[in-house]
Amino acid sequence: MNPFRRSPFVIAATILVYVFLYAPIVGLVLYSFNASRANVTFEGFIPAFSDRVVMDGSMVKSSPCGPFHWYCELSKNRDVAEAAGNTLTIAFTATIISTIIGTMAALALQRYNFKMKPFSQLSLYIPIVIPEIVMGIGILTLFSQVFGWMNDTFNLVGSARLSMGIMTVTASHIAFMVPFVALVVQARLTGFDKSYEEAAMDLGANEWITFRRVTLPMILPGVLSGALLAFTLSLDDFVITFFTNGPGSTTLPIYVYGLLRRIITPQVNALSTVWIMVVFLAVLAIQILQNREQKKPS
Binding residues for another protein, rule: CB under 8 A, are 193, 195-196, 198-206, 209, 213-214, 217-218, 297-298
Smallest distance from another protein to CB 204, Å: 3
Distances (CA, A) of 188 to 86, 127, 219, 234: 31, 20, 7, 22
Q: Dihedral (C-alpha) 40, 46, 47, 48: value to the nearest 10 degrees?
A: 150
Closer to another protein at the Cβ: 155 or 294?
294
As measured in angstroms, the least distance from the Cβ of 118 to another protein is 13
Residue placing its CB nearer to another protein in the complex, 79 or 293: 293
User: Residue 127, exposed/middle/buried by CB under 10 A (0-12, 13-18, 19+)?
Assistant: middle
Cβ distance to another protein smaller for residue 137 or 224: 224
Q: Which is nearer to another protein, 59 or 218 (CB)?
A: 218
Q: Quick one: DSSP state of residue 32?
A: T
108 Cβ contact partners less than 8 Å away, ≥ 6 residues apart: none
Q: Which residue lies nearer to another protein by CB, 109 or 174?
A: 109
Q: Which of 88, 37, 33 is nearest to 275 (CA)?
A: 88
Residue placing its CB nearer to another protein in the complex, 41 or 195: 195
Least distance (Å) between residue 224 CB and another protein: 14
Residues 201/207, Cβ–Cβ less than 8 Å: yes
Residue 294: which H helix or E strand, with range? helix 266-295
Shortest distance, position 286 Cβ to another protein, whole Å: 19
Tell me how far CA of residue 195 lies from CA of 110, 198, 223, in angstroms: 14, 5, 20
Provide the 3-class DSSP secondary structure of residue 203.
coil
DSSP class of residue 40 equals S
- Closest distance of CB 123 from another protein, Å: 22
Closest contact distance (angstroms) between CB of 161 and another protein is: 50
